[in-house]
Amino acid sequence: MSQVTEFNEYRQRMNEKIMAADNKVIKRFFNLDTNTYQAGALDVKTKEMLGLACSMVLRCDDCIKYHLGKCHEEGLNDEEIYEVFAIANLIGGSIVIPHFRRAVEYWEILKEEAGPLAPPHHHDA
């Protein structure tokens, strides 16, 4: 099983288990996260780039993988993703570098598994 598939399946499985606990506060918190990344004054692509940069500065590898996947879905190319990486490294400092390395590795895996880049799909109605 690939890293991408393993990460996504684990995340989905555990989210389902968490939601099954039916805790109102947790459900509201997860819903807030979902709504935050929907298009608004900022488009989804911009929000995912912000999420990626913030996740790198906070050094959360799971968050970085999640936002890399979303950035890939939104059609970011290498030049764009490396500009986000540059901002995160500048703001976060040298402690971000190990996370940056893993982010580059995961980005390469995402591109290999997806094949040719598909146009981004937007959820705007």
In this predicted structure, what is the pLDDT of residue 43?
98
Query: Which token pair is 42?
Result: 């900022």
Question: Residue 109 to residues 29, 64, 69, 119: CA-CA distances in angstroms?
Answer: 30, 14, 10, 18
pLDDT tens digits, 16-27: 999 999 999 999
Task: Please state the pTM of the whole predicted model.
Answer: 0.88
Q: Which residues of the chain have a pLDDT value below 70?
A: 115-125
In this predicted structure, what is the pLDDT of residue 125?
43
In this predicted structure, what is the pLDDT of residue 83?
98
State the first-to-last Cα distance of the chain, in angstroms, to the nearest integer: 35
The candidate with the shortest Cα–Cα distance to 52, out of 5, 99, 17, 116, is 99
